[in-house]
Structure 1
Amino acid sequence: MAASHATEGSRSHRAVLLTVTCLGQFMVLLDNSIVGAALPDMQHRLNTQLTGLQWIVDAYVLLVAMLLLSGGVFADRFGRKRVYLTGVAVFTAASLVCSLAPSVGWLVAGRVLQGIGAAALAPASLALLVAAHPVPHERMKAIGLWAGLSGIGLAAGPVAGGVLTEAFGWPAIFLVNLPIGVVLLLVGLRHLGESRNPNAPAIDVPGTVLSVLAVGVLTFGLIEGGARGWTSPVILGSFAAAVILLAAFVTVEARRPAPMLPLRLFRQRLFTVSNTAMIVVGFALMGSSFFFSQFFVYVQGASILRAGLQTLPVSLTMVIVSPYAGRLAARYGFRIVVTTGLALAGLGLLTLGTVHAETGYGNVWWRLGLAGVGFALAMSPLTGAAIQAVSPQEGGLASGISTTTRQIGAVLGVAVLGAVVRTGQSSGASFETGLDNAFLAAGVVTLSTAVFTGLWLAKSKGAEGSEASLPATGPGTASTSNEVSASRR
């Protein structure tokens, strides 16, 4: 009887843990997609230009990209519960700052804080879940639920963003995080158990700082170049500084005993090719998604609510298709599935580049869906390929690096495709023409990468029938070093 009660108590504890971790990741993913629907309202009410909107998105993505790996190590070293709840607290407080922001500058500052909170919250939530499920079968099932349930946030974002913005204005999309955050803090403080890894490596502070500065300065040059002039001293100086900082980062990482990014992993062709392709996935997906609502509102004259609903085919198809991508890769190999996915995504984006103001939605939704299906097919197998390329002990690190490279691509996508739109406008072209050029550019880059992966993504010997080697994460989830490393403790 006592054993039965203990088992019931353990199940109850795990149910609470699953709920708390899923809800935290749901909040992060919701924030990834909810902002896009509100961008037109932000532009109107904050009286900002395209550059301001780019910073609102990239300030968040940049911090998440550069701090995810360190966030996972931080959680292992100082306690997963502590880091998770700290991330929740920072994310929630930052959401309040964003909702009260009187200007673009304040909103960007709030988004930076949100990024810091998300970079702590996301890896710690997965680490808590993995540590509580030592049995491999139960662990994979829990991670699958975590990815699937939290991934609903990605699909809900455009609709929730459209409804809230239409009814209350853009600040409401950040206020929705407050009750979720408060519930997570109250329940988490009471029910979550603490766990840590006493043998976790030291945090790579120099590498983290240099990576943030290098990508940050590069992003500044790409976003501000259109407004300040590509040959202005400030922009040229930012590009030069980015090169110097990147070189310093590589030098530091090559000499540190426990670097955040072990450069030796890139000697494996499979690892290098998969991460290069993942950068393109982030670039094309986030860069194009940044303009979806703006296209429907500014080019086709839709309301913000209708625009949010009209962008739904992308996120919805990704949530539906992603769980099957790993199975397909396990059956047919990484190369076939990834190449097919990138080709479909590229074709979808190319067809979006031919959509105009008078094009009916019946001839638009399938283009968005095609891109969504393609990206969903590519993401999970690309991470699986990166994991397959390294030793089992470094699988979690490889997963974390794959997520980081996708986020870096997302930062660059918003910056570069925004520059394409602005460059077209500065040459006298309309906003519609600029958007077409951006979608076409994203499509060409994605299709070129499909050819690249078809030629260079070597078929791993362990790919066939090796579904367990693939990450059980959905679109946008933050797989980190904790996923595998925690499972082996």
Structure 2
Amino acid sequence: MVSNRATLLAVTCLGQFMVLLDNTIVGAALPDMQHRLHTQLTGLQWIVDAYVLLVAMLLLSGGVFADRFGRKRVYLTGAGVFTAASVVCSVAPSVGWLVFGRVLQGIGAAALSPASLALLVAAHPVPQERVRAIGLWAGFSGIGMAAGPVAGGMLAETFGWPAIFLVNVPIGVVLLVVGARVLGESRNPQAPAIDVPGTVLSVLGVGAATYALIEGGARGWTSPEILACFAAAAALLAAFVAVERRRPAPMLPLHLFRERLFTVSNSAMGAVGFALMGASFFFSQFFVYVQGSSLVRAGLQTLPVSAAMVVVSPYAGRLAARYGFRALVTAGLALAGLGLLALGSVHADTGYGNVWWRLAAVGTGFALTLSPLTGAAVQAVGPQEGGLASGVSSTARQIGGVLGVAVLGAVVRGQQSGGASFEAGLDRAFVVAGLVTLVGAVATGLWLTRSEPVRAAVPGERRELSTSAKG
């Protein structure tokens, strides 16, 4: 039994490792993709956002699918789709085919990730054991995130960008073979029905907005096509809200946002996704195109961000429990925002000794916020909605990331179209990301000023919120 549990833990952790590795490994290979595929910044944005958009929009549905149709079945299906999609990406002859492969990867990841955690939780009914298992799952995920920039730089430099996708194939095969043998099937017979209208409207609405933001700089912000996309996005998202209000089992229960803490934490999480993913999109490009680094060296140079996140994240929950959610999140967002503003003043001749600490400040600041924000979102609602609240928090971060890549890319293109250099465009993008983060810090502090300090729970521990904190 212990052996089976250990194998299950290894399989589920490896699946999440593969998903998180893919999040960061692609960024290191973007300069090589741009060179070999002869694409512009717009193409690179689609390569990243096509994946993130599908994960963001299908993540909540993926968890419901796992509960309703079987966690093992959904996990293996997600692993199979992700692996096959990685092959499609690796042989893509053009940006269009690569974006298509990234869409398929996003679908696979949206099934694999929530199913892996659901399998882990179902196999560990004892709270103490479950906490340790989830801790290992999250820690292994962090290793994947930290390994991505270095592995991506080495693989792209040595074999070319297709290698960053081929590395998923042996991992996927192991997951499918071993998972089919050791994973036990489980499901929730009371799981709600799939919210098909809500899922479709959310994908189309956010997708239309993303298209307009990415293509607006190239086609003109006042062109009929772009204006039509913005109008369609507004109409689709309004329809989404209307549908979710009437659905008996919506994918996004809007009543949750009546809780002030839930709204604040998810708004802050959206700002984190916007700034972190939007800025990370340009880190390797800065080192390669502005400072002339190789792909391998650029991957190593971006490491302070992910390394700081891996090192600091395990302590964030304890610090929040000691000093309070509001104090820690505000401080973390402020530190990250100042780090991004500092990155806005680096140039081609800035020595790395004067750059790495700015990246480390960004990673440390965001690491201090992610776990407490998720914990606060879960605590703000009833215990039966904790899983849903965690999924909404992850979705908020992913949607913020989609918009961050789109908006900051538009900032860079706008600067270049005005005659500025790529370096000047990057400086402006980092400043915008920093300002968004600082606004999030100020808003978080102000919105909760009159409430008692909210103690975000250490994993496995639940504290009751004060009446004032719950609004």
**Both structures adopt the same fold (TM-score exceeding 0.5):** yes
Structure 1 counterpart SS, 2:250:
coil
Q: Is the 8 A contact 2:74 2:115 kept in 1?
A: yes
Equivalent in the alignment of 2:111: 120
Equivalent in the alignment of 2:40: 49
**Aligned pair 1:81/2:72, yes or no?**
yes
Give 1:470 shift: 7.1
List aligned pairs for 1:450-465, cutoff 5 A: 450-457=441-448, 463-464=454-455
Task: Find 2:304's aligned residue among 296, 313, 319.
Answer: 313
Give 1:468 shift: 3.9
Q: Is the 8 A contact 1:313 1:368 kept in 2?
A: yes
**Aligned pair 1:12/2:3, yes or no?**
yes
Equivalent in the alignment of 1:106: 97
Task: Find 1:165's aligned residue among 156, 159, 162.
Answer: 156
Q: Is the 8 A contact 1:384 1:470 kept in 2?
A: no
Can you list the C-alpha shifts for 1:113-147, whole angstroms capped at 9, x where unaligned?
00000000000000000000000110011000111
Gaps of 5+ in 2: 463-471
CA distance in 2, matches of 1:277, 1:420: 22
**179 and 277 in structure 1: CA distance in 2 versus 1, 3 angstrom threshold:** same
CA distance in 2, matches of 1:464, 1:88: 37
Structure 1 vs Structure 2 CA RMSD: 1.2
CA distance in 1, matches of 2:236, 2:425: 32
**Aligned pair 1:303/2:294, yes or no?**
yes
**Aligned pair 1:223/2:214, yes or no?**
yes
Give 1:289 shift: 0.1
Can you list the C-alpha shifts for 1:368-408, whole angstroms capped at 9, x where unaligned?
00000000001111111111211111111111100000000
Structure 1 counterpart SS, 2:435:
helix
Can you list the C-alpha shifts for 1:401-446, whole angstroms capped at 9, x where unaligned?
0000000000000000000000000000000000000000101111
Q: Is the 8 A contact 1:214 1:241 kept in 2?
A: yes
Equivalent in the alignment of 1:35: 26
Equivalent in the alignment of 2:129: 138
Structure 2 counterpart SS, 1:390:
coil
Q: Is the 8 A contact 1:381 1:470 kept in 2?
A: no
Number of residue pairs matched by the alignment: 462
**Aligned pair 1:235/2:195, yes or no?**
no
Give 1:273 shift: 1.0
Equivalent in the alignment of 1:477: none
Q: Is the 8 A contact 2:375 2:456 kept in 1?
A: no
Give 1:463 shift: 4.0
CA distance in 2, matches of 1:199, 1:461: 36
CA distance in 1, matches of 2:78, 2:114: 10
Q: Is the 8 A contact 1:334 1:459 kept in 2?
A: no
Structure 2 counterpart SS, 1:51:
helix
CA distance in 2, matches of 1:28, 1:183: 14
Give 1:466 shift: 3.6
Task: Find 2:367's aligned residue among 371, 376, 386.
Answer: 376
Equivalent in the alignment of 1:482: none
List aligned pairs for 1:234-313, cutoff 5 A: 234-313=225-304
Equivalent in the alignment of 1:355: 346
CA distance in 1, matches of 2:415, 2:206: 25
Equivalent in the alignment of 2:172: 181
Give 1:458 shift: 5.9
Give 1:163 shift: 0.5
**272 and 464 in structure 1: CA distance in 2 versus 1, 3 angstrom threshold:** closer
Counterpart code for 2:359: L
Q: Is the 8 A contact 1:331 1:463 kept in 2?
A: no
Structure 2 counterpart SS, 1:467:
coil
**Aligned pair 1:449/2:449, yes or no?**
no
CA distance in 2, matches of 1:465, 1:304: 40
CA distance in 2, matches of 1:405, 1:464: 21
**Aligned pair 1:207/2:198, yes or no?**
yes
Q: Is the 8 A contact 2:217 2:414 kept in 1?
A: yes
